[in-house]
Amino acid sequence: MYPKSEILFPHRAIQPLGLERGADWQELVDQVASQRDGNEDTLAFSLMMIRLCDCLNCDQSCYKASLGCVTCARRVVGSQKASDLMLRQTFEQTRQEIRQRLAPRPS
């Protein structure tokens, strides 16, 4: 129905977010977008965006889904009242969560 929509925030939607905020945000986006999909940082960034965009409550019948992930994410990032530094801190916290989840567990 909406061919540009994904189930969850996709890697391809990271790079277009670079110009939505200031230099700190653009640096983070550039750093993450240059990495391979599935890398620790890309997983952390995607999880952060899934939470910010409320992707778990989006479905094909939602208005947000009709916009597509890039447009939805741009709107969400652009409307965040948090500073770029706070968003960077949110990313760092999410990266720590990813590290904990990916860490090998003792048998």
What mean pLDDT value characterizes the chain?
A: 91
pLDDT at 57 over 70: yes
Residue 44 has pLDDT above 60, yes or no: yes
Each residue's pLDDT tens digit, 58-82: 887 888 778 888 999 999 999 999 9
Question: Which pLDDT value is given to residue 103?
Answer: 87
Question: Which string of b and e fits 6-40 if b means at least 16 CB within 10 Å?
Answer: beebbbebbebbbebbeeebeebbeebbeeeeeee
What value does the mean pLDDT take over residues 31-48? 97
pLDDT of residue 66: 81
Joined tokens for residue 3: 């061919």
